[in-house]
Amino acid sequence: MCGFAGILTNPNFPNRSSLGKVASKMAAAIAHRGPDDSGVWWQANEVIALAHQRLSILDLSRAGHQPMISHSGRHVIVFNGEIYNHLELRRELNSQRNGTQWIGSSDTETLITAIETWGIEETLERTVGMFSIAIWDRKEHVLQLARDRFGEKPLYYGFTGEGSQKTFLFASELAAIRSFPGFSNRINREALSQLLRFSAISAPCCIYQGMNQLLPGHLLTIRESDLEEPVTSQQWWCFRTSAETASRQRYYQHQGQSNIHFFNETEALNALEKTLQISIEKQSLADVSLGTFLSGGIDSSLITALLQKNNQQPIRSFTIGFEEEDFNEAPFARSVAKHLGTDHCETILTASEAMEIIPSLAKIYSEPFADSSQIPTHLVCREARKNGLKVVLSGDGGDELFGGYNRYFWGPKIWSRVNWMPFHLRYLLGCTIRNIPPSKWDRAVKALGIPQVGHKAHKLAERLQRVRTSDELYLSLISEWKQPLSIMQCEESSYPIFEPPSAVNLPLPSLISEDPAERMMAYDTLNYLPNDILTKLDRAAMAASLETRAPFLDHRVAEMAWQLPMTMKIRNKSAKQTQAIGKWALRQILYKYVPSELIDRPKAGFGIPIGQWLRGSLREWAEELLNPIVIENQGYLKSQPIQQLWEQHLTGRFDHTHKLWIILMWQAWLKEWG
């Protein structure tokens, strides 16, 4: 992984001679993404400058230096990510080009040579990897930006300035864009409304007006001669289309008319394991130390087991634990590691060590971000890097593709029991549930091992009072502030604020099942996965100069997941089970390597007791950020509803952790960057 930044101007731009220095300064602002090497490319007759920070993973020599110029000299590229099948691409290029005189062994050289040979769209379609790319065609004076299929690697772009000083900027993080001299784009209030709803901002929105995030699977082309807004991108890969194709194959298989090569569960499981094994093998390619994150859960345990399977020496696995017993999964990971025979490293952190990172979060996440698991995620990345790892395989994507989140189980179940009710009766039911304090809910179901059920019950009750369809229920389940515009101030003499649409507002293909759980999985893959999970992982890891890879997000694994029937993802509960079983297919594969008793337990999020800390050691920090006078004077949020929630939370009778954390992270970001 790396980071890059770039500037595209017009021929009349003043001080063009300084573009190289400015681009270099922009990249230096994200040096944590690539501390091993840096480079800049700019020439006096060019209107563009490219700068790069390198984290050396493949070909550690200067032959992998970026920005990289193609063999012909026509193209210049900066690239962040990994192309896992680049050796196969090299073999194809060698046969088509009658042999190529390669300078080194980096995937960057493979990528730029492939683009010169096949063009960027065909090259992207051939790639297996995670990436964001900026490539400049010196002959046609065309800049192209591309992002990987699922959005593992970030890419921001947009305009700043006016007239002759109007400039197109692009970078891996907003910290680089903010380093451009004179950058003064205003806050995008509509993006703020998304933050309040989802805890993260959904691409293509960005917290700054005039700036955007390139959508996953998209390609943007901009010419020097057409440096005007708006700039639109096009899809080179579409998850909706891929899922629809897989769903069609699944349908025809059910009808006995499919060309899918498995016809029963055993064959399907064998095919899935083989595909996942290939993905892990490809993603294990590195010239530096590599290991796995191991939490002891289904996803990370399966990745670790399959990686260890084909290694004669013990692979390195890593986990962190916390002193708080309810949040400590280290013993589970330790048991799995012992059974698999990995070289396991475990670090136990104190609450004070976790809290120490909180003041730095706004800097780590240079765009506002408020998923509180950002704290342990960064800590595990930091500790892994300290212990000598430079590349780590993670289990991200397993929940969305194979049915792992709790909302997939109880959301549709509850909807099936209340959808017959007239709306006014559902409203009364919601009021009844909310009148029971969260603490009583927690005590009532403690034996079931379901964490924070009181907060979830209140959240569900709040939603039942408003939803009319299963899709509306899903949106309400993933929304923290259900009416974000109601707590936002409007600018004087300004246009009204509207909450921009996200992927969850767009229709799914008709062939995707009407099963509410499967629809949730599709929407999560489109929105929650790239904008929350992968954003969290990228920034948390890159702040520690650590590369993370997600084998489940090989598009061939994802496509196979969508070919499987829902019964191979979520199995209905039996007489011995308290709830449905998620990720059934992954479990069956994992049971071949790890006894079920080591991994079968209720799903728990990767969290820490933020709510308790806000009432205790973090209270002074929080109250400073939540000062009503400061909030009102800033002009973005209304202080009264926020103060009301804060006072309720302090009593301990209510748990408003998630809503308050969003406000706190916004206030901290505004203090750091505003």
DSSP one-letter string for 374-424? HHHHHHHHHHHHHTT-SEEE--TTHHHHHT-STHHHHHHHHHHHHTTS-HH
For residue 204, say if its preceding peptide bond is cis, omega within 30 degrees of 0: yes
Higher pLDDT, 482 or 370: 370
Beta bridge partners of 40: 51
160-164, 247-251, 470-474: the lowest-pLDDT one: 247-251
Domain(s) labelled CATH 3.60.20.10 in the chain stretch across 2-237
In the block, tokens 């899922």 appear at 243
Asked if pLDDT for residue 143 goes beyond 80, the answer is yes
Please determine, for residue 95, whether its predicted confidence score (pLDDT) is greater than 70: yes
pLDDT in tens, 397-418: 999 999 999 999 887 877 777 7
Q: In degrees rounded to 5, what are phi and psi of residue 609?
A: -75, 65
Read off the pLDDT of residues 377-389 as tens digits, 9 standing for 90 and up: 999 999 999 999 9
Structure tokens at 15: 């001080």
pLDDT of the residue at 575: 46
pLDDT for the residue numbered 229: 75
Per-residue pLDDT at 201: 98
What per-residue confidence (pLDDT) applies to 58?
83
> What value does the mean pLDDT of the chain take?
89
Taking residues 615-626, report their average pLDDT. 94
Query: Residue 230: is the preceding peptide bond cis (ω within 30°)?
Result: yes
User: 239-608 belongs to which homologous superfamily?
Assistant: HUPs (3.40.50.620)
For residue 674, name the pLDDT band (cuts at 50, 70, 90). confident
What count of other Cβ atoms lies within 10 Å of the Cβ of residue 353?
15
Please answer whether residues 428 and 466 qualify as being in contact, where contact means their C-beta atoms are separated by less than 8 angstroms. Answer: no
Which residues are 516's β-sheet partners?
none
pLDDT of residue 578: 57
SS3 labels along 321-381 = EECCHHHCCHHHHHHHHHHHCCEEEEEEECHHHHHHCHHHHHHHCCCCCCCCCHHHHHHHH
Confidence band for 70, pLDDT divided at 50, 70 and 90: very high
Residue 639 has pLDDT above 50, yes or no: yes
Give residue 453's pLDDT. 59
Query: In DSSP terms, which residues pair with 317 in a beta bridge?
Result: 292, 344
pLDDT value at residue 447:
53
Q: 479-518, pLDDT tens digit by residue?
A: 999 899 999 998 765 667 889 989 998 888 877 777 889 9
Give this prediction's pTM. 0.92
- 2-237: CATH topology is Glutamine Phosphoribosylpyrophosphate, subunit 1, domain 1 (3.60.20)
Domain span(s) for CATH 3.40.50.620 in the chain: 239-608
The pLDDT assigned to 672 comes to 93
Sequence-distant (≥ 6) Cβ neighbours of residue 480 within 8 angstroms? 196, 197, 198, 199, 658, 659, 662
% of the chain with per-residue pLDDT over 70: 89
pLDDT at residue 349, as a whole number: 85
Task: Please write the tens of the pLDDT for every residue from 323-353.
Answer: 776 667 888 999 999 999 999 999 888 888 8
When mean pLDDT is compared across 86-90, 300-304, 489-493, the lowest value belongs to 489-493
Q: What is the pLDDT of residue 495?
A: 64
Collapsing DSSP to helix, strand or coil, 211 comes out as strand
Decide if 30 contacts 3 (C-beta within 8 A): yes
Interhelix angle for 534-542 vs 374-386, to 10°? 40
Report pLDDT digits (tens) over 154-177.
999 999 998 878 899 999 999 999
pLDDT grade for 446, boundaries at 50, 70 and 90: low
Mean pLDDT confidence for 128-153:
97
Task: Render 603-658 in DSSP notation, one character per residue.
Answer: ---S---HHHHHHTTTHHHHHHHT-HHHHHHHTSB-HHHHHHHHHHHHHTSS--HH
